């Protein structure tokens, strides 16, 4: 039974990977937002060590490498994403500074106080915001930075429908002041916090998926897993359009004390 479940999950993961391999970003974001967040990081030099955790195929990593000095080790759970990532680094002539490796964010291959900067766009939810901030802190040098984007509520209250959707999808979604307080509690100075603009969801995330969904459904017509995935993603996009005043992604930048 459990073997069967594993293989069903493996099949789902493979399909999800294949679907998201077709688009440049696997989460909401944009080059402008990556650059803006990077502008808060000081004290880096060509010898600095940076980690990009949950890097996907590397859309944001290439922008980061063009914005900041130092070497970047990027990590993702899915080997398929890392393969595309490393091709992407070569295409951008960044492979001497940017390297993708397969691994998990709950077991990172770094030494204590090795890193100058930890980056993670739209991925820390996989370990949980608070746990990620606490667990990853030891890898940072004193005075090193962490910059993560995370789903957050914009208002203290919101309509039931969207509250239920998110509590089910990611129960640790919380308000911005609560997230900032968690960052402070984990041993960082909260340096900057900003809401990423709507075009990071529309232009850079949902719109590129429209074509991807058509070709994916054509390839996997009649496949329930594929159809359910696309159905879920469509609901996600519709809910965003309906409730975008109440939630979004927020960049949180902190400096290790």
Contact residues for ligand SAH (CB under 6 A)? 25-27, 29, 54-56, 59-60, 75-78, 81, 104-106, 121-123, 126
CB 82 to ligand SAH: min, Å: 9
Question: 23 or 176: whose CB is closer to ligand SAH?
Answer: 23
CA distance 181 to 178: 5
CB 222 to ligand SAH: min, Å: 26
CA distance 114 to 116: 7
CB 163 to ligand SAH: min, Å: 23
CB 48 to ligand SAH: min, Å: 20
Residue labelled with tokens 């998926």 = 209
Question: 56 or 70: whose CB is closer to ligand SAH?
Answer: 56
Helix ranges restricted to H, 69-173: 79-91, 129-136, 160-169
What Cα–Cα distance (Å) separates residue 198 from each residue in 28, 33, 143, 183, 203? 9, 11, 32, 24, 8
Question: 28 or 70: whose CB is closer to ligand SAH?
Answer: 28
CA distance 9 to 70: 37
CB 186 to ligand SAH: min, Å: 19
CA distance 15 to 69: 36
Query: Under DSSP, is residue 201 helix (H, G, I), strand (E, B) or coil?
Result: coil
Q: Which residues neighbour 136 within 8 Å (Cβ) at sequence distance 6 or greater?
A: 53, 105, 108, 118, 146
Question: 59 or 248: whose CB is closer to ligand SAH?
Answer: 59
Question: 78 or 157: whose CB is closer to ligand SAH?
Answer: 78
Question: 130 or 184: whose CB is closer to ligand SAH?
Answer: 130
CB 78 to ligand SAH: min, Å: 5
């Amino acid at each position: 039974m459990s073997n069967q479940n594993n293989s069903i999950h493996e099949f789902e993961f493979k399909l999800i990977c294949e679907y998201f391999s077709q688009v440049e970003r696997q989460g909401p974001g944009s080059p402008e937002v990556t650059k803006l967040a990077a502008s808060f990081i000081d004290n880096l030099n060509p010898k600095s060590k940076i980690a990009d955790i949950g890097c996907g195929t590397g859309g944001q990593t290439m922008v980061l490498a063009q914005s900041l000095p130092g070497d970047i080790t990027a990590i993702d759970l899915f080997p398929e994403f890392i393969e595309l990532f490393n091709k992407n680094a070569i295409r951008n002539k960044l492979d001497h500074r940017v390297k993708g490796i397969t691994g998990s964010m709950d077991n990172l291959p770094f030494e204590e106080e090795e890193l100058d900067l930890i980056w993670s766009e739209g991925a820390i939810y996989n370990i949980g915001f608070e746990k990620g901030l606490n667990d990853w802190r030891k890898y940072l040098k004193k005075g090193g930075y962490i910059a993560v984007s995370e789903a957050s509520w914009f208002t203290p209250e919101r309509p039931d429908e969207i509250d239920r959707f998110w509590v089910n999808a990611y129960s640790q979604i919380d308000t911005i002041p609560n997230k900032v307080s968690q960052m402070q509690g984990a041993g960082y100075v909260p340096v900057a916090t900003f809401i990423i603009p709507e075009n990071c969801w529309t232009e850079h995330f949902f719109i590129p998926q429209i074509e991807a969904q058509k070709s994916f459904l054509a390839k996997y017509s009649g496949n329930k897993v594929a159809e359910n995935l696309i159905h879920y993603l469509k609901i996600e996009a519709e809910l965003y359009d309906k409730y975008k005043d109440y939630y979004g992604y927020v960049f949180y930048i902190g400096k290790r004390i």
